Amino acid sequence: MRFAHRGETFPIAGHFTIARGSKTEAHVLYVELRDGGCTGHGESVPYARYSESLDSAAAELEAVRPRIEAGVTREALQGLLKPGAARNAVDCALWDLEAKRSGIPAWRAAGLKRLDPLKTAYTLSLDTPEAMGAQAAANARRPLLKLKIGGAHDIDRVEAVRDHAPKTRLIVDANEGLSFDDLVRIAPDLGRLGVKLIEQPIKAGEDEQLKGYDCPVPLCADESLHTREELAHCAALYACVNIKLDKTGGLTEALALKAAASSRGLRIMVGCMVATSLSMAPAMLVAQGADFVDLDGPLLLARDREHGLEITGSMLAPPKPELWG
């Protein structure tokens, strides 16, 4: 098997700002696997919050290059690389390669009866209340807006968005930017404003504080949950979990995590990093039937990858084979 990987950069439309910082470019890891006349593709986003970079992900891949080139299986890959961006890119490329070899679409191989279009949330970057209100006005027809929060004037931000998008469902994402006291203080107002979900309000290592807290808005684990190993911990604290392939280390673990979380009665959100349609395509398999879908990465870019997903408003069409799966 021929194995290649490289870093790629895609400009963001404007900027993307969360509680931890701002960026104007998306840096992704691209993986290609060739076997005979078939080629599989995968993409991931190394994330600094998890001590990842393009260089560190490349080093992980080079360390296991002989095993990959010898024809590693998806099952063997789970023990070969740790959960994270490097494993995600290879795992998704293997799914794609298997689909190309067999002629069986990845969604069918995953046990799905069909692959339906999905309505995605659209993310509003953290900014002043006035700027976020303007973002909301420009996107008021979207069915679901996701607001980045995490500082002073958060309620002013949400009120500005609600004023300019009165009919849209809202979720907020603090990216660990609140204290427990902040959460207790603002949660009633978030409920009053019709917010449906609060993502990762406090730091992953400090979320035991949530135990026994009856929040008026359902809470969703993001940074606290990577794989099934953290599921028991999160199930005791959160009503919902955000599954991202870059955290699980690929589609294989993401599907297993979704099944395990659903069996515990947890609501499911499927999210993404800012990336191209190649990252969104495998996540669409996990997002089938999810309570919340947040796969808007390509909508935040100034340009997408060739053969990208067809997106109409907030509706994502299933990927074409030229892209993935």
List residues with catalytic annotation: 148, 244
CB count within 10 Å of CB 21 equals 11
Question: Rounded to 5 degrees, what are φ and ψ at 11?
Answer: -70, 140
Residue whose tokens read 């998704």: 92
Give strand ranges (E) for 229-316.
240-243, 267-270, 292-293, 311-312, 315-316
d(CA 103, CA 185): 54
CA dihedral sign, ordered 73, 79, 81, 83: positive
d(CA 279, CA 200): 22
> Is residue 2 exposed (0-12), middle (13-18) or buried (19+ Cβ within 10 Å)?
exposed
d(CA 58, CA 290): 32
**CA proximity to 245, closest of 98, 140, 92, 131:** 92
226 by DSSP, 3-state: which? coil
